[in-house]
Amino acid sequence: MAGQHLPVTRLEGVSREQFMQHLYPQRKPLVLEGIDLGPCTSKWTVDYLSQVGGKKEVKIHVAAVAQMDFIKLYLLTSWSRGQLKRSIKNSLFQSHYHEQHIKDISSYGHQRALVERDEKYYLRSLGEDPRKDVADIRKQFPLLKEDIKFPEFFKEEQFFSSVFRISSPGLQLWTHYDVMDNLLIQVTGKKRVVLFSPRDAQYLYLKGTKSEVLNIDNPDLAKYPLFSKARRYECSLEAGDVLFIPALWFHNVISEEFGVGVNIFWKHLPSECYDKTDTYGNKDPTAASRAAQILDRALKTLAELPEEYRDFYARRMVLHIQDKAYSKNSE
């Protein structure tokens, strides 16, 4: 179990002015209650979404276990039952019609299981061309856009994407961070969200933007001993709740019920700071990527020295980085 457990602050009836002037600058997660989201929280039933979605083809992830591992993701565009069984590792990516997907994802023991009867489904909407276009519910699902109001907590020119998500009960998404600010709107159902501060990245065993620790409730501390030092922030979301997730905050999402959500991402930094090829909001800012490349070159140069010297100068480099780049502000 992670060390320190802290609740995420909940506030009701927060105005845009309150959020931008007093809460946003703190750069901490916050659950907002009582935000006017439109009729989506009562309107987006399984039947309604099935009718509106119609025969729209979408991409879905299918997991044979509750804890999704995107470090070992397999992408399939076509398959046979035999190929599916042979290829399965943890999570698969498949084409599926939206109408049937909505009905399947809302039940535990449906009859059309592709992997096994207790498989989990997860839909994350994509742009028309995911390599070039960002997800925007208003474009990919135009019949739904009139049902939902986006909280007006940022300027329109800062908008990056709006991601439509549907999750099976019991599905747990991997711990990861995004490079843009994010409002997670819980439209229907319930979620449990666990967050970790960017300051605790050193304890999360990162591989890219993702943590290797999948079971955050009962972690293997023999394999991940530093994880016990990570401070854990936790909240529960019900229909109508909105969770503000600042950029770089790690988050792990568990669907306690069949649920529909919408994430709204916007640019906290000037547009030129972000990778122009990023359509998911998860590529590090260009300056950070350049710095990482420079560091890799420095480490290769350092490798020319014997171990004793390499160790000494590497420690000096770490101290230099801490002195020049670490924030002096405490949380």
Task: Give the CATH number, domain containing residue 264.
Answer: 2.60.120.650
Instruction: Examine the domain organization and report whether 184 and 291 are in the same domain.
Output: no
Output 108-113 pairs: Cβ under 8 A, ≥24 positions apart.
108/168, 108/169
pLDDT at res. 112: 43
Domain hosting 116: range is 5-273
- Rounded to 5, what percent of the chain is helix, strand, coil? 30, 25, 45
Q: Phi and psi dihedrals of 44, rounded to 5?
A: -85, 65
Same domain, 148 and 292: no
H-run or E-run covering 259:
strand 259-266
Instruction: Give the residue carrying structure tokens 């470090």.
Output: 71
CA 238 to chain CA mean position, Å: 18
Residues 177, 303 within the same domain: no
Residues 189 and 298 in one domain: no
| pLDDT on residue 160 | 96
Q: Are 225 and 302 in the same domain? A: no
In Å, how far are 160, 194, 326 from 265, measured between CA atoms?
5, 19, 26
* Torsional sign, CA 60, 260, 151, 68: negative
The span from the CA of 251 to the CA of 196, in Å, is: 6
Q: What is the largest CA-CA distance in the chain?
A: 67
- Pair (251, 293) in one structural domain: no
Q: Does residue 278 lie within any of the structural domains?
A: no
**Number of structural domains the chain divides into:** 2
Q: Are residues 233 and 295 in the same domain?
A: no
- Same domain, yes or no: 252 and 296: no
Q: For the chain, how big is the Rg over CA atoms in Å?
A: 21
Burial of 131 (0-12, 13-18, 19+ CB in 10 A): exposed
Task: Enter the DSSP assignment of 75.
Answer: E
The rounded distance, in Å, linking the Cα atoms of 127 and 107 is 27
The answer to whether the CB of 35 falls within 8 A of the CB of 151 is: yes
Q: What is the identity of the amino acid at 156?
A: E
35 with 10, same domain: the answer is yes
What is the residue-level pLDDT of the chain in tens, covering all 331 positions? 446 889 999 999 999 999 999 999 999 999 999 999 999 999 998 888 888 765 667 777 777 666 766 555 433 333 333 333 333 333 344 444 455 555 555 554 443 444 445 677 888 888 888 888 999 999 988 889 999 999 989 999 999 999 999 988 888 888 999 999 999 999 999 999 999 999 999 999 999 889 999 999 999 999 999 999 999 999 999 999 999 999 999 999 999 998 999 999 999 999 999 999 999 988 999 999 999 999 999 999 999 999 999 999 999 999 999 999 999 886 6
Contact 136, 162 (CB under 8 A): yes
- 168 and 308, same domain (yes or no): no
236 shares its domain with 312: no
Q: Is residue 330 a part of any domain in this protein?
A: no
- pLDDT tens profile 90-123: 334 444 445 555 555 555 444 344 444 567 788 8
Neighbours of 293 (CB within 10 A): 10
